[in-house]
Amino acid sequence: MVAYPRDERSPERRDQDIQIASEPELMPLDLQFDSAAVAVESHLAQLSHPVAVAGVVENGVIHLLDPSICLPEHSRVIIVASEHS
């Protein structure tokens, strides 16, 4: 008899896992038969990566300290603020 570990997930996590498992599988990639193998690193290099920039908030508007930084329109940002000193 095989002893399975006890399921210690929260009910919310269990529901989320069930929802993810019930989603349809993704279609396989449409690759040519003679396609060359490519390292995962080359694929990951094409993805955008997070960038940390310094800025100041004045009247609710964020001003970047480095004027040479230009973020693309509709960029998603995460604001990390220090405590007011």
Which portions of the chain are predicted below pLDDT 50?
none
Q: What is the pLDDT of residue 47?
A: 64
Q: Is the pTM of this model over 0.75?
A: no
Q: What is the pLDDT of residue 32?
A: 83
Q: What is the pLDDT of residue 44?
A: 67
Task: With beta carbons less than 8 A apart as the criterion, state whether 66 and 55 touch.
Answer: no
Beta strands in the chain (DSSP E): 55-58, 61-64
Q: What is the pLDDT of residue 19?
A: 92
Q: Domain residues of the chain, as ranges? A: 51-85
Instruction: Report the amino acid identity of residue 22.
Output: S
Q: What is the pLDDT of residue 85?
A: 54
Q: What is the pLDDT of residue 16?
A: 92
- Cα(13)–Cα(31) distance, integer angstroms: 35
